Structure 1
Amino acid sequence: MESAESSPLSVVADSNNRSNAEEFNYKYYQPLHIAILKGDWKFTKAFLDNDPSTLTAKITMLGETALHVAALGAQWKLVEKLVQLMPANMLTELDSKGFTCLHYVAVGKSVDTAKALVAKNSSVIQVTSSGFTPLYLCIAAAISKEMVWYLVLNTTEPACCPFKHTDVCAMVSVGFHDIAMYILQRYPNLASTSSTSDDDGSTILHVMSKFPSHFQSGHNFGFWKRCIYRCVPVELEYGNTIWNALEFVPSIKLVRDAKLRHVSAVRLVEFVCSQALTKNDCRFWQSDRIVNVIFDATSSGIVEILRICFRFFPDMVWNHMPNGGYVTQIAIENRQEKVFSFLCKMPTISIMQVMQIMSSTTTFQHKDSDYPPTSHLAARFASQVESIPGAAFQMQRELQWFKEVEKLDNPRIKNYKDRDGKTPWQVFKDNHKALLEEGKIWMKDTSNSCMLVATLIATIAFAAAITVPGGNNQDKGIPIFLSDNTFMVFVVSDALALFSSMTSLLMFLGILNARFAQEDFLVALPQKLIIGLTFLFLAIVTTMVAYGAALSMLVQDRLKWAPIPIVLLACVPIALFAILQLPLLVEMMISTYGSRFSYE
């Protein structure tokens, strides 16, 4: 068999012996196939010069031409060279899978290669494979946004509308909202049409409602990324700003791209709604598809879609979801706090209370009531909630959510019992027994660990206060370094270390002796833990300061530069504690004292 390393001369010799049989000669084309995959243009050119018919022949068992093989191997430079040699009509040639060379190029990153193909034969961009154009495959791959832009700008046939609804929906699903907006502005009819290629008849809004990460409400950035997010300009055009200079920082570029995507998504939703309003198509907004949009947006926590839809079509807030209830009930059942906060400003909350009062004598006693008290929904345990440090604070979050939702219930039905004869609070306790036990164990383990550190610091601080650095004057018992300013730093920091560690110790002891009832996890227990950790951190800092001051006093006469490395080394444990424990402490403070629900 011909070796993959065959020279052009050996191929020439072999070509003289080529069979004239009509069946595919794999042995003959194998060296060319391998050479193309390797990007060996010298061998490829020699083969083609010897046998020009190979340029348009099928050289693989899958019916691929040399151009197909080069594109599949991502040998873009070789593709561009082959394009110059091939007849223009061969660029639309299909392989056995029904793809042209441009279909394969479209899922890559080489825009220059795509430009070479389109320049040779502009019709290649319109060739479909099982209904899929190169543009659709490029969107589905979501590898190169630049490639998508190029194919969109060069797709011009038919003149009435060269794009399909599925193309726009695919762009929306991968987050290319600005490109989708570009298309919709030129072909507005696509904004309110639905897909006919599937059974659900998805609209653009329906697709967007399934991707919460495309909106700001679906992102949970950390503290620093939230700060960057607020500072990033909202303009979609990349002007010559300082942000372009900072794009080399991966985290900044990530946040900026996210914000631009969020802004584009909101503008796209507004445009779609405005087009539907312009058409004045009531059937479109009363259809089950739009009800599904509201349901999906509520379940996914996409506040932006709800806000825009309710602004354009206020009546949509009263839509009753099949097997789901009203918007507020869905938000509560799916634990969507941002949606709940938004809905608390809407009249839907008031109407729910009215429905509850009207039904209090009849409907509530029926097990299939359409208007159950919202607190019963909130009393259920959420198996999947946002990341929370420790079971105790997850229990706190559950209590905060229940207490907040309970405010919605009319006072007349606060003790309403469900089909099992349980009040909302009884349902909450039954559903959170396991979490209560986990929270109790977590609190005790954390307290025991911190007590050990606090006890050690208290012991050291007390011993250091008795045996001061340098000793005492034998006659009067006064410390020898009393007149030294560094000694005063030592005394103050040592005293603070002792007092802080003892306070921390008492707080953790109070946790160990607590009763651990459900309501204690709301404020009492977290507050003790916050105070204990705060004073423990202060004790560690002051202990290191006292140690550094004491060591400096002992060696400063001999080594004048000694305080510098001592201070630097003392900062190491402080920094480690800050990195490991401060985020937890901050989360606890925000969870306990911060506002969990925003009503902006």
Structure 2
Amino acid sequence: MASAYAESSPLISSDGVKAAVSEFARGFNHSYYLPLHLAILKGDWESTEAFLDNDPRALTAKVTVHGRTALHVAAVGAQWNLVEKLVEYMPANMLTELDFMGCTCLHYVAMGESVNAVKALVAKNPSVTQVTDFKGFTPLIYSLTSTRHRDMVWYLLMNTTDERPGCPFSGPSASQLVALLTASGFHDITMHLLQRYPDLATISDSNGSIILNVLSKLPSHFPSGNTYTNNFDYKLAPVELELSPNQPYCGNITWNAFQYCFGSSMKRVRDAKLRHLSAVRLTEFVFSQASAMNDYQFYESFVSADIIFNATSSGIVEILRICFQFFPDLVWTHIPNEGYVIQIAIKNRQEKVIRLLSKMPIICKLLVLAIDESNNTTSHLAARFSSNNKSTLGAAFQVERELQWFQEVEKLDHPLHKDVKNSDGKTAREVFIEEHKQLVEEGNNWVKDRSNACMLVATLIATITFAAAITVPGGNNQDKGIPIFLLQKKFDLFIVSDVIAFFYSMGSLLMFLPKSNGPKTQKGFANILTFRLKLGLYFLLFALVATTIAFTAALSMLLEKRFKFSIISISIFACIPIIYATGLRYPNLRRIKLL
């Protein structure tokens, strides 16, 4: 049998597979089994059952040239209902049968999302989870290489043991299992596995710790790699780190109410928080296990320079904080052509990492003073511009951001370094000016385009509000020229909102009026952004909101006699764009503070 061959020869080449298929195909009756094959792929149980009743041997026979049984075919075709039905008739020993690709039926089922089909196979033959393919991989590894279905991984992990022939948690495939499990983001499942088999926490290769190496490339799996961690829903989400696969999840009353109203979106928030906290916990466990080895040479290679570089350049402060907590000397790690941790953080604009290092003031000052092989100071590194750091807000705001960053790093650096020239004979400020020339030019064009568009809107608002002030709702008294609705409170709201909209739109126009020459320096750009562009955008926002309020008040005055609740209905509709507009994230860049 193929399964017996796999135990004696766990590895087989692709040429060997082709040879086995070719030899089997010579005597294979393709036309006979074709109706059965097609019926299974279509999910047609009646035709499948009729064929098997007519020929019971077909249940255990190889019905394809790849040596697959009917159960294999159903699994490959993702016909999970047929898998469950065929298992009832299939002998238990046949569930461990391998096809010519080296896979059991469970290997294929594990790549899907039907946990019920897996449960049916395991109930029939519990040892099926231990069978490996020709490369020594169990179905558990297959579940991590395809859809990465959480419930599927949990179930297979709980029903797979570290026994021969695979020895998935201590054998040759253990490193790949750990890497795949960590990359999948199921860090709570990884923690569960490491608590059962602590030696997996310190498994490593030529690149150092396998788990840390994978985690250092996944910034989104940590709180520091996400901006929404300060949101109310994220803070409210309850997380049980000790939750087992068979334990039902129960949140608090408030959270359950939110989840009932918003459904899957709130579940994604909770899952993200669970992943973040589990990643931190996993990192702590790995470092604690490594520190228990009490071997400096071991953990020096265990936490490789690549891991330090990846975590620093991606801004994963959690890995760095825990790393320096267990191995303080690693803060002095120097990476060729990149520098120390603080130099890498500066080049990649990772202010969170610099804040972490600033909690070690003496070490931070010593690292900042380092000069590289090209005589570049820390300020020189901050002066460089990288296209990877471009802001999504536009070139003009990027100039301000770059200037803020350079000024803050200058404060960290020694004052004497301002006059230090690198191997190209340039000071840090000269490098900054030269490298940002193109960005300043792009910023000029960007400001001009945005200003023209905003001026058009501001002009329209000013024109409309001016006309509305002259031709007020309801008209004027022909004898005295006084507005008919003058004594109504709604008229007060209308006229005040109209005046505010007019003056703010005029103020916005003044801010957006083009100068004869745009700024040619980075400092000039910062002034424009602070005092003209940002102020103009906010003036325009206020004018839009005030115009909407004025229109609502005017319309309610005209319709109140015919529609009694006009003010309520109109106000509800008017609130929608106002709330959206006031919630917009207008360019209001936070001032960078590294200390």
Calculate the TM-score normalised by the size of structure 1: 0.85
* Aligned equivalent of 1:503: 507
Q: From 346, 362, 366, give the equivalent of 1:351.
A: 366
Change (3 A) 1:387 1:535: same
Aligned residue in 2 for 1:239 = 250
128, 145, 148: which one aligns with 1:140: 145
Q: 2:404 aligned with 1:408, yes or no?
A: no
Corresponding letter in the other structure for 1:168: V
CA deviation map 1:175-215 (0-9, x unaligned): 111111111112111111214xxx64652111211111111
CA–CA distance in structure 1, aligned partners of residues 464 and 257 of structure 2? 51
Distance in 1 of aligned mates of 2:499 and 2:484? 19
Query: Which amino acid in structure 1 is aligned with residue 433 of structure 2?
Result: K
> Does residue 387 of structure 2 align to residue 380 of structure 1?
no
Which of these residues, 188, 212, 216, is aligned with residue 178 of structure 1?
188
1:319 counterpart residue number: 333
1:454 is displaced (CA, Å) by 2.2
Q: Is the Cα contact below 8 Å between 2:382 and 2:406 reproduced in 1?
A: yes
1:457 matches 2:458 = no
* Distance in 2 separating the partners of 1:84 and 1:532: 73
Q: Which residue is 1:361 aligned to?
A: none
Conservation of the 8 A alpha-carbon contact between 2:458 and 2:506: yes
Distance in 2 separating the partners of 1:140 and 1:376: 44
Deviations 1:244-264 (A, max 9, x none): 454452221111101100111
- State the one-letter code of the partner of 1:181: M
Match of 1:206 in 2: 213
Letter in structure 1 aligned against 2:456: L
Q: What is the identity, as a one-letter code, of the residue corresponding to 2:222?
A: F
1:335 aligns with 2:381: no
Is 2:585 the partner of 1:596? no
Unaligned residue ranges in structure 2 (runs of 5+): 1-24, 244-248
3-state SS in 2 of match to 1:583? coil
Match of 1:41 in 2: 45
Partner of 1:87: 91
1:102 equivalent in alignment to 2:106: yes
Structure 1 residue runs of 5 or longer lacking an equivalent are 1-20, 357-363
Structure 1 residue 293 corresponds to structure 2 residue 342 = no
Structure-2 change in CA distance of 1:297 and 1:566 (3 Å): closer
Q: Does 1:230 align with 2:244?
A: no
Cα 1:135–1:288, aligned 2, differ >3 Å: closer, same or farther? closer
The Cα offsets for residues 342-392 of structure 1, whole Å up to 9 and x where unpaired, read as 223234321124545xxxxxxx7xx544xx311211212121236532221
CA contact (8 A) 1:457 1:501 kept: yes
Residues of 2 paired with 1:327 and 1:107: CA distance? 41
Paired residues, number: 555
Query: Identity over aligned residues, as a percent?
Result: 57
Q: 2:424 aligns with which of 399, 420, 427?
A: 420
CA distance in 2, matches of 1:268, 1:63: 42
Q: Separation in 1 of the partners of 2:121 and 2:31? A: 29
| 1:190-589 pair list within 5 angstroms | 190-195=200-205, 200=207, 202-221=209-228, 226-236=231-241, 237=243, 238-242=249-253, 243-244=255-256, 246-247=258-259, 249-287=263-301, 290-346=304-360, 347-355=362-370, 368-369=374-375, 372-385=376-389, 387-470=391-474, 472=476, 477-509=481-513, 515-554=519-558, 556=560, 562-564=566-568, 567=571, 574-575=577-578, 579=580, 583-585=584-586, 588-589=587-588
* Distance across 2 between alignment mates of 1:76 and 1:556: 63
Q: Distance in 2 between matches of 1:34 and 1:166?
A: 36
- The corresponding residue for 1:25 is 29
Q: CA deviation at 1:516?
A: 4.8
Instruction: For 2:150, give the aligned amino acid.
Output: K
Residue 187 of structure 1 pairs with residue 197 of structure 2? yes
Secondary structure, aligned partner of 1:486? helix
Pick closer, same or farther for the CA change 1:88–1:548 going to 2, 3 Å.
closer
Q: Quickly say closer, same or farther: Cα 1:535–1:87, change in 2 above 3 A.
A: same
Contact 1:246 1:253 in 2 (8 A): no
Q: Check the 8 A contact 1:400/1:522 in 2, yes or no.
A: no
Aligned-residue offset at 1:61: 0.8
TM-score, L = length of structure 2: 0.86
1:120 aligns to what? 124
Of the structure 1 ranges 406-415 and 330-339, higher mean CA displacement relative to structure 2 is found in 330-339
Q: In the aligned structure 1, how far is the partner of 2:290 from the partner of 2:153? A: 27
